[in-house]
Amino acid sequence: MYHCDGHFFGMHFLWWIVWLFVLIGIFWFLYKTSFRGPQKEDSLQILKKRFANGKISKEEYEESKKILEEDL
């Protein structure tokens, strides 16, 4: 009705701000859930746990660690 006269410009501007915050929230959520660090660190942590639990020998640990560190 009155949007041609500029009466609803404030509300239109408010909706742009709302959508901007929604988009920022979506990108922030995706960033926090998608990028949790390099995969190699996780592999090294698993290897350390297996060695600490006695599931692999020292030789296997050192060999696997050497291979994982080469990929970094």
> Is 14 found in the same domain as 24?
yes
* pLDDT level of residue 20 (50, 70, 90 thresholds): very high
> Is 68 found in the same domain as 42?
yes
Chain centroid to Cα 28, Å, comes to 9
CB 11 within 8 A of CB 17: no
CB 65 within 8 A of CB 58: no
Stated length of the chain: 72
Query: Per mean pLDDT, which range of 4-8, 11-15, 24-28, 45-49 is the poorest?
Result: 4-8
* pLDDT level of residue 40 (50, 70, 90 thresholds): low
> Is 44 found in the same domain as 30?
no
CB 40 within 8 A of CB 72: yes
Q: Which residues contact 21 (CB under 8 A, 6 or more apart)?
A: none
Instruction: Give the range of the structural domain holding residue 47, as residue numbers without chain letter.
Output: 37-72
Whole-prediction pTM: 0.43
